[in-house]
Amino acid sequence: MPVPATMWRRVLDRTEKHEFVASLASVFAETSIVVVTRNAGLTVAEVTELRRRMRAAGATFKVAKNRLATLALDGTSFDGIKPLLTGPTALAWSRDPVAVAKTAVEFARTNDKFEVLGGAIGGQTLDAAGIKALSELPSLETLRARLVGMLQTPATRIAAVLAAPAGQIARVLAAHAEAEGAPSADAA
């Protein structure tokens, strides 16, 4: 059946729908977080900017038909986000939960047409406030840097403590030598 040229939505045939559902289901099986957003009235330039930011954060942003996304969610740990899939929605996902949440919330602050509806991390469903709270956590790279810093700090303290007695003994011996009238190592 030919599609009229005036239709702005692309019509998918049955095999394309099955392939899309299968690819989305495999994504849901591998990812750690899915964020559901509403993007009513975003321009092409705004969506392109959002996708660029998501890609820079290691996330993916995709507009999907709600019915196909619902089918792809069946049997996954993200089943709880099905009620959010009404109206003009889009999905964002990533392996790093903080990065995708942070990017979505920051973009929503600067654009009134973009709204974070909620999401799921693992098997736990989050509302918009939960996604916002998640976005305020430090990123994975920041946490790693803090952990390395915490691991290195005790090592430097241990080295300082171990080196201190040797330095103290040297100072005591130098002071004792000066007290006896012998020339110190500094004077020589």
One pLDDT digit (tens) per residue for the chain, 188 residues = 454 544 445 566 788 888 888 888 888 888 888 999 998 888 999 999 999 999 998 899 998 888 988 888 888 888 888 899 888 889 999 888 888 999 999 999 999 899 999 999 878 888 988 889 888 887 777 777 877 777 777 766 666 666 666 666 777 777 767 877 755 455 54
CA dist 63 and 109 (Å) reads 20
Q: Exposed, middle or buried, 51 (CB in 10 Å: 0-12/13-18/19+)?
A: middle
Clarify whether residues 124 and 155 are in a common domain. Answer: no
Clarify whether residues 176 and 85 are in a common domain. Answer: no
Clarify whether residues 155 and 93 are in a common domain. Answer: no
Clarify whether residues 78 and 154 are in a common domain. Answer: no
In a domain, 2, yes or no: no
pLDDT at 160: 66
Clarify whether residues 131 and 145 are in a common domain. Answer: no
Q: Contact 29/73 with Cβ under 8 angstroms?
A: no
What is the CB neighbour count within 10 angstroms for residue 35? 31
In a domain, 160, yes or no: yes
Number of compact structural domains in the chain: 2
pLDDT at 18: 85
Clarify whether residues 69 and 147 are in a common domain. Answer: no
pLDDT at 8: 47
Q: What is the pTM of this model?
A: 0.67
In a domain, 51, yes or no: yes
The token pair at 41 is 């009235």
> What is the domain extent for residue 73?
14-137
Clarify whether residues 38 and 78 are in a common domain. Answer: yes
Clarify whether residues 51 and 97 are in a common domain. Answer: yes
CA dist 131 and 94 (Å) reads 13
CA dist 64 and 130 (Å) reads 23
Clarify whether residues 115 and 167 are in a common domain. Answer: no
pLDDT at 162: 63
